[in-house]
C-alpha cells in the first residue's frame, strides 16, 4: 500500500466512524420532540422511550460487534464495511419517514447492527499501525467520533428547527456519498497470512471474551472499558433532557453545546493525546483521564447557570483520553490475527454499557425531576463521578497487569 493509498483509506475509515457518531449525535437534539410527535406524552415519558431506543441500539452493537469483527478477520475489512454502509444509508431513509414508535424501534435495531462496524474499522487501523503507534492512531478514532458529535448535533439542531425529519435525509445522503468513496479507495488489509476461519464460538460476544480473557491483563482492561463508558454515556443519554429541564434550552442550543463538546473531543483525541502518551505513557494517561472526568462530573452536578454549562462542556473533553489508551494497551497484547476479534469485544463492552447506562441515567433523571421527591437534575452526573472512583480503584488495583 502506497502512502497516498494509505491516506485515502484512513480518510474513508475516519469518515465512516464520523457517520457512526453522527447516528448518535444527529438524533439527540430532535429526539425529545420526535418521540412526542409519534407517541405523545410528557418530556419525562419521552426520556424513558429515549432510553429504551438507545438501549436497543446498544444491544445490537453488543451482539454484532464480535460477529462483524470476526467476519472481517475471515472475509476482510472492505466487504464488511461497504455492505454495512449501504444498509445504514437505507436505515436513515426509513427513520426519515417513520410514523410510529415501533418503526423507530426497528430502525434502532438495524442501526445498531450497522454501527457495530466500529470493530472492523478499528481492526483496519490496527492492521496498518506499528505497535508503538496504536494508541495514538486509536486516538484518531476518538477524534472521528468527536467530529461526528460536532456534525451530528449541528445538523440535527439546525435542521431540527425546520422539522424533526430533515436531519435523517441529510445523514442518508452523507452515507451514500461515503459508500461511493469507499468503493474506490478502500484496499483490503486481511491477507492469507493472517486470515482465520469464522467460528461462532469465537464470534459471539461471550466466546470471544473468554478467548481474549486469557491474554495478559486484557480481561480486567475490558471491564474497565465497560465502567468508563457506562459513566461517559451520561452525556448522550441525558444531556438533551438535562439542559432542557435545568436551563430551558431549545434543540438548536442543545446541538450547539454538543458541537462544542465534539470539537473538544476531536482536538484532544486527534492531537493532544499524542504528547500525553509520549510524556506519561498509556498508564499515566489513563490515570489522568479518570481523575479529570471525576472532577468534571462533580462540577456538572452543581452548575445552575446555562452559560456556565455552555462554557464548561468543551472543557470536559480534556478527559477523553482513556479509551484510546486502553485500546492501545490491549491491541499490543493481541496477535495480528486477533485484531478484529479484540476490537469486537471492546465494542461489545461499550455496548453493554450503552445497554444499561441510558436506562439507569434516564431513570435517575426522571426520578429526580418528577415533582414527587428531591429535585436534582444533575443526579446522573453524580453517579458518573462515583463510577470514576471505581474505575481508578480497578485500574490501580493490580498495577503490574497494566
The 3-state secondary structure of 304-324 reads CCHHHHHHHCCHHHHHCCHHH
Q: Per-residue pLDDT for 384 more than 80?
A: yes
> Which element (helix H / strand E) includes 8?
helix 3-25
Higher pLDDT, 335 or 35: 35
How many whole angstroms separate alpha carbon 362 and alpha carbon 355?
Answer: 12
Provide the 10 A C-beta neighbour count for residue 169: 16
User: Which comes out higher in pLDDT, residue 1 or 79?
Assistant: 79
| Nearest alpha-carbon partner for 138 in 118, 156, 158 | 118
Going by pLDDT thresholds of 50, 70 and 90, the confidence category of residue 400 is very low
DSSP 271-316: IIHHHHHHHHHHHHHHHHHHHHHHHHHHHHHH---HHHHHHHTTGG
pLDDT > 70 in the chain, percent: 87
> Would you place residue 338 in the very low, low, confident or very high pLDDT band (cuts 50, 70, 90)?
low
Using CA atoms of 78, 79, 81, 84 in order, give the dihedral in degrees to the nearest 10: 170
Range with lowest mean pLDDT among 1-10, 80-89, 302-311: 1-10
| Between 385 and 282, residue with greater pLDDT | 385
Percent of all residues in the chain with a pLDDT value above 90, rounded to a whole number:
12
| Confidence at residue 323, expressed as pLDDT on a 0 to 100 scale | 84
Q: Which residue has the higher pLDDT, 189 or 276?
A: 276
CA–CA separation, 148 vs 16, rounded Å?
Answer: 10
The answer on pLDDT for 381 being more than 70 is: yes
The x, y and z cell numbers of residue 127, run together, are: 492492521
> What's the mean pLDDT in 104-112?
87
SS3 76: coil
* Tens digit of each residue's pLDDT (9 = 90 or more) over 148-183: 766 776 777 777 777 778 778 888 888 888 889 888
What is the C-alpha to C-alpha distance for residues 76 and 334, in angstroms, rounded to an integer?
A: 18
Q: Can you read off the three cell numbers belonging to residue 107?
A: 430502525
pLDDT for residue 367 is more than 70: yes
Helix (H, G, I), strand (E, B) or coil at 43: helix
| Dihedral angle computed from the Cα positions of residues 335, 341, 342 and 347, in that order, rounded to the nearest 10 degrees | 160
Write out the DSSP string of 218-253.
Answer: HHHHHHHHHHHHHHHTHHHHHHHHHHHHHH---HHH
* R_g over Cα of the chain: 20
pLDDT of residue 293: 94
**pTM passes above 0.85:** no
CA distance 359 to 353: 10
Cβ 311 vs Cβ 296: under 8 Å: no
Between 284 and 64, name the one with better pLDDT.
284
User: For residue 24, what pLDDT is reported?
Assistant: 64
What is residue 399's predicted lDDT score, i.e. its pLDDT?
A: 46
Four-residue CA torsion sign, 60, 232, 282, 13? positive
Contact 228/322 with Cβ under 8 angstroms? yes
Highest mean pLDDT among 33-42, 160-169, 199-208, 219-228: 219-228
Who contacts 260 (Cβ-Cβ below 8 Å, separation ≥6)? 310, 313, 314
Q: How far apart are CA 361 and CA 374, in angstroms?
A: 16
For the beta carbon of residue 307, count every other beta carbon within 10 angstroms: 9
- Distance, in Å, from the CA atom of 363 to the CA atom of 214, rounded to the nearest integer, reads 36
The answer to whether 384 touches 227, Cβ cutoff 8 Å, is no
- For the record, the C-alpha cell of 105 comes out as 424501534
pLDDT(92) > 80: yes
Amino acid at each position: 500500500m502506497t502512502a497516498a493509498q494509505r491516506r485515502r483509506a484512513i480518510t474513508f475509515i475516519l469518515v465512516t466512524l464520523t457517520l457512526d457518531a453522527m447516528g448518535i449525535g444527529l438524533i439527540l437534539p430532535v429526539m425529545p420532540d420526535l418521540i412526542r410527535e409519534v407517541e405523545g406524552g410528557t418530556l419525562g415519558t419521552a426520556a424513558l422511550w429515549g432510553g429504551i431506543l438507545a438501549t436497543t441500539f446498544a444491544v445490537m452493537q453488543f451482539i454484532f460487534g464480535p460477529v462483524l469483527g470476526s467476519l472481517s478477520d475471515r472475509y476482510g475489512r472492505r466487504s464488511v464495511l461497504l455492505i454495512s454502509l449501504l444498509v445504514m444509508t437505507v436505515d436513515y431513509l426509513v427513520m426519515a419517514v417513520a410514523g410510529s414508535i415501533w418503526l423507530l424501534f426497528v430502525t434502532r435495531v438495524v442501526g445498531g447492527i450497522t454501527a457495530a462496524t466500529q470493530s472492523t474499522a478499528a481492526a483496519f487501523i490496527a492492521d496498518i499501525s506499528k505497535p508503538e503507534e496504536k494508541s495514538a492512531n486509536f486516538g484518531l478514532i476518538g477524534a472521528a467520533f468527536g467530529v461526528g458529535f460536532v456534525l451530528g448535533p449541528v445538523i440535527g439542531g439546525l435542521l431540527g428547527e425546520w422539522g424533526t425529519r430533515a436531519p435523517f435525509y441529510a445523514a442518508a445522503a452523507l452515507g451514500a456519498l461515503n459508500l461511493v468513496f469507499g468503493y474506490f479507495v478502500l484496499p483490503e488489509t486481511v491477507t492469507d497470512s493472517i486470515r482465520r476461519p469464522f467460528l461462532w464460538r469465537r464470534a459471539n460476544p461471550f466466546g470471544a471474551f473468554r478467548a481474549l480473557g486469557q491474554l495478559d491483563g486484557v480481561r480486567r482492561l475490558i471491564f474497565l472499558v465497560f465502567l468508563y463508558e457506562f459513566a461517559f454515556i451520561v452525556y448522550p443519554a441525558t444531556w438533551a433532557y438535562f439542559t432542557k429541564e435545568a436551563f430551558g434550552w431549545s434543540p438548536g442550543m442543545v446541538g450547539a453545546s454538543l458541537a462544542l463538546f465534539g470539537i473538544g473531543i476531536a482536538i484532544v483525541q486527534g492531537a493532544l493525546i499524542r504528547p500525553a502518551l509520549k510524556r506519561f505513557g498509556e498508564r499515566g494517561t489513563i490515570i489522568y483521564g479518570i481523575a479529570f472526568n471525576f472532577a468534571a462530573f462533580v462540577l456538572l452536578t452543581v452548575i445552575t447557570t446555562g452559560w456556565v454549562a455552555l462554557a464548561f462542556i468543551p472543557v470536559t473533553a480534556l478527559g477523553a483520553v482513556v479509551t484510546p489508551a486502553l485500546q492501545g494497551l490491549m491491541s499490543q497484547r493481541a496477535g495480528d490475527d486477533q485484531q478484529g476479534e479484540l476490537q469486537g469485544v471492546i465494542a461489545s463492552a461499550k455496548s453493554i454499557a450503552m445497554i444499561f447506562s441510558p436506562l439507569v441515567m434516564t431513570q435517575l433523571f426522571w426520578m429526580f425531576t418528577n415533582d414527587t421527591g428531591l429535585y436534582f437534575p444533575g443526579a446522573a452526573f453524580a453517579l458518573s463521578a462515583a463510577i470514576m472512583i471505581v474505575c481508578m480503584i480497578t485500574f490501580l488495583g493490580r498495577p503490574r497487569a497494566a
